[in-house]
Chains A and B, each alone.
Chain A
Amino acid sequence: MNKFVGKITVAEALIWVILALVLCFTVLPILFMLVASVMDAKQILAMPFRWIPSREYFTTSDRTWLTNFHKAIFGNNNNPVFLRNIANSLIVASTVAVTTVILSALCGYGLAKFNFRGKNAIFMSIMATMMIPFEAIMIPLYIVTANLHMMNSYRGLIVPFLVTAFGVFQMRQYLLTFPAEFIDAARVDGLGEFRIFLSIVFPNCLPVISTLAILSFRNQWDNLLWPLLVSQSETMKTIPLYLSKFAEEKQTDEGAMMACALIASIPMFILFGALSKYFLGGAAVFESRKG
């Protein structure tokens, strides 16, 4: 212990203190959500706030630490539609993650490793879509979706997000540095172009694929605006929608709302826990655009 302390300079200690403060800032609100999820509204807004709920609080007859979670899941009419909403979010987000990866890899490969007329025009126009804010095309997009009879369905939630320009861009940048010799060697071996893509190019993109998949998953998990317009029935709603409705309909019940927020965050925390390497590696891929 002493040996350790002895090594630390003042500057280093200062760095540790500053980092610890920032850590408090980022982590405490999450901790607050955890703690608040077992409290009732009165405790959440108590002055001063107690980070550890008092014991006598849970010994009352009408409350246990599960009360908020029960309310969050079953609402006030005992209809566990929240669970269905979680399933919806999972289905939508994972499907989009998969399609984004496949389609952007395909397109990025085409743009990075082939020369054909209009390539630059295609690349630039795909890039241009990156600058279109979603709010700007919300209504025309809604009309397209309606005309394709995709309202209030998984297709309606998924199809407009099948692939993103950002994904294509990342894939292209990554593949620009992919050694052409591998591809040529495969061609000499007589492999078809599509097979080369599947068996040589795609498997070699794993780092960028995983970060891209996580990013797309996250974006859909987070999406509020589009489901707001497209999901009409309770059973087709996604988590952000359920949460925003929860915030609106039961304004007085902060505890249940935090329980709800916590449950909604669990899948993301699990994903983050399992794949934190790729989450944190997202930046590395981003940097590779310099290639």
Chain B
Amino acid sequence: MKKLTIMVLTALLLVPSFVFAQGSSEKDGNVTINFWTHEDTNRQAIEDGYIAEFEAANPDVTVKATRQASKKMIELIQTAFAAGEGPTIFNLESNNANPFVQAGRVAPVKYEALGYKDAEDMKSHYIDGMLDPVTYDGDIYGIPFEGLSWCLYINKNVFKDAGLDPEKDYPKTWEEMVEVSEKLVIRSGDIIERRGFDFRYPYYLETLVPMVNQLGGSLFSADGSEAIIGEEAWVKVLTYMQNWGPNGLNLGSPTYKNARKLFNNNNNDIAMAMSGLYQEARIKSDNPDFYNSGEWMVVPFPVWEDAVADTSASFYGQFYMVNADESEKTQQKAWELIGSMLSHEQEYLSEVNLIPPTKELMNSETFKSMPYAEVFEGDMERAHHLYFGKNATEVQSLLSTAVNNVMLQNMDPEQAYQELKASVQELVDED
């Protein structure tokens, strides 16, 4: 009897693993498109609609859309490709997209499916430099649904609370940034309760490199053989970061909460944060009262007082790409799907505040009528494209180590600079 009970129990418990199994069986002639994209509730809402429309118009196509956390996208997609199970369509930002293009893992754009004559025609529709990370040997391998650079969001309430006039006193230079933040910060002992501004920490290619560029330094020499150029500029920026951190003036640190997300709450704990145009939509959905109150504004990316180059936060794109391992037919359908989604570029902008970076859209009424559109446009014009070379991910990690070294471990900026240079140089020499 006992035996029987055990066997029945076992069978019962084993059943789910087979019943719930979701094997992907493909019928002949039908196309299954696995569509992976990063999580964005606002965008998901409109894209799901476009996908349904596309499926209705193409009964032989099934689209399986999956959303991933944006930080995890690159890891998941890389492993999937390594196992030969890459998704049909996926999106990645400039620096992560480029390696896929270089390695030949993604398929060139089917221009006619997107309504372009050829590569040149497509290129001319997008703002200059935008398609560089996905251009290889004259062909284009991805299409951006978003192109952006970050500006400075300001909470007027906090400024007023500290007795400042946001319209007049907002920081235009990095030096002013420290002064203003000093006035805004509230501490209890060494512990910060309200920050003036804080950086977007792991994203140093986006913000730290332009700060160095402004001072005349750069990541690589023109021919790419030497890394971390301009000792003075790098040391100055690293010293600035050290001063910013808990071992210096104690204005912020990577271990405090993400400034950009705190910003929306309007809880009097952060006055300034760095973000793209999409932040406007996020404020609107997270905290409509704050959005409508007009107590926030957007100002340009600060510049050093003694800057030698005027540049703002690097701009980058989010590119839809198509797996080169898919059959011709699937690729064709995939590009058609992307084309049909992006034909709604006005809605991407008006509903989700993402800017598909076409020249037409940037000049459209829809764009011009967005709050602070002129600030974003101005910054985009003076920005460079984010560094997207082969080792971009590693360079990003190394920049992170350098900043953590000075900010958290209180390392001498000169030494941090030397270590950074040596490790990035090692990456360069490896190739």
Contacts and interface: CB of A to CB of B under 8 A. Distances in A.
Report if A and B touch in the complex (beta carbons < 8 A): yes
A91 B20 contact: yes
Contacts, number: 98
A98 B12 CA distance: 10
B13 interface: yes
A98 B10 contact: yes
A119 interface: no
Contacts of B69: 245, 248-249
A143 B267 CA distance: 47
A152 B80 CA distance: 11
Contacts of B267: 42
11 contacts: A42-B267, A47-B193, A77-B41, A95-B16, A95-B17, A102-B10, A143-B82, A149-B23, A228-B72, A232-B66, A251-B257
Q: Which of A42, A77, A228, A232 has the most CB of B within 10 A?
A: A232
B292 to A, nearest CB: 16
A201 to B, nearest CB: 11
Interface stretch (B1-9, B293-301, B356-364): B1-9
B39 interface: yes
A44 B313 CA distance: 34
Interface stretch (A19-27, A153-161, A166-174, A269-277): A153-161
A142 B79 contact: yes
Interface string B1-38: 01100110110011011101111100000000000100
A158 B22 CA distance: 13
Interface in A249-269: 249-252
A118 interface: no
A229 B188 contact: no
Contacts of B64: 233
A99 interface: yes
Nearest to A203: B2
Interface in B376-409: none
A145 B7 CA distance: 28
Nearest to A46: B193
Give the contact-size bracket for chain B: 35 or more
B13 A98 contact: yes
A202 interface: yes
A143 B86 CA distance: 12
A239 interface: no
Interface in B169-202: 188, 191, 193
Contact of A199 (B2, B9, B188): B2
Nearest to A233: B66
Nearest to A157: B17
Contact of B14 (A98, A142, A143): A98
Given A251-B258, A252-B258, A198 B6 contact: yes
Which secondary structure characterizes the binding site on chain A? helix
Contacts of B24: 149
Nearest to B264: A252
B83 interface: yes
Contacts of A99: 14
A151 B76 contact: no
B16 A252 contact: no
A214 interface: no
Contacts of A142: 79, 82-83
Nearest to B261: A252
Contacts of A115: none
B265 interface: yes
B3 A199 contact: yes
A31 interface: no
A77 B14 CA distance: 34
A287 interface: no
A69 to B, nearest CB: 19
A251 B256 CA distance: 10
Interface of A: 42, 47, 76-77, 91, 94-95, 98-99, 102, 139, 142-143, 145-147, 149, 151-155, 158, 198-199, 202-203, 228-229, 232-234, 236, 245, 248-252
Interface string B49-93: 000000000000000101111011001100110111100000000
B265 A252 contact: yes
B12 to A, nearest CB: 9
Contact of A229 (B21, B76, B257, B262): B76
A76 B76 contact: no
Nearest to B71: A248
Interface string B244-268: 0000000000000110011011010
A98 B7 CA distance: 11
Nearest to A90: B16
Contacts of A252: 257-258, 261-262, 264-265
Given A91-B20, A153-B22, 20 more contacts: A42-B267, A76-B285, A91-B17, A94-B13, A98-B10, A98-B13, A102-B10, A151-B83, A154-B20, A154-B21, A154-B22, A199-B2, A199-B3, A203-B2, A203-B6, A228-B76, A234-B66, A234-B67, A248-B69, A251-B258
A-B complex: 7 closest residue pairs judged by Cβ atoms:
A146-B83, A233-B66, A252-B261, A146-B85, A98-B13, A153-B22, A251-B258
Contacts of A91: 16-17, 20
A145 B85 CA distance: 10
A228 B79 CA distance: 11
Contacts of B262: 252
Given A76-B41, A149-B24, A202-B6, A47 B188 contact: yes
Nearest to B267: A42
Contacts of A94: 13
Contacts of A202: 3, 6
Nearest to B18: A155
Contacts of B257: 251-252
A145 B23 CA distance: 12
Given A77-B41, A146-B85, A249-B39, A155 B17 contact: yes
A147 B83 CA distance: 8
B204 to A, nearest CB: 19
A199 B6 CA distance: 10
B17 A232 contact: no
Contacts of A233: 64, 66
B22 A152 contact: yes
Contact of B22 (A42, A76, A236): A236
A143 B85 CA distance: 9
Nearest to B42: A77
Given A249-B39, A252-B257, A143 B83 contact: yes
B89 to A, nearest CB: 13
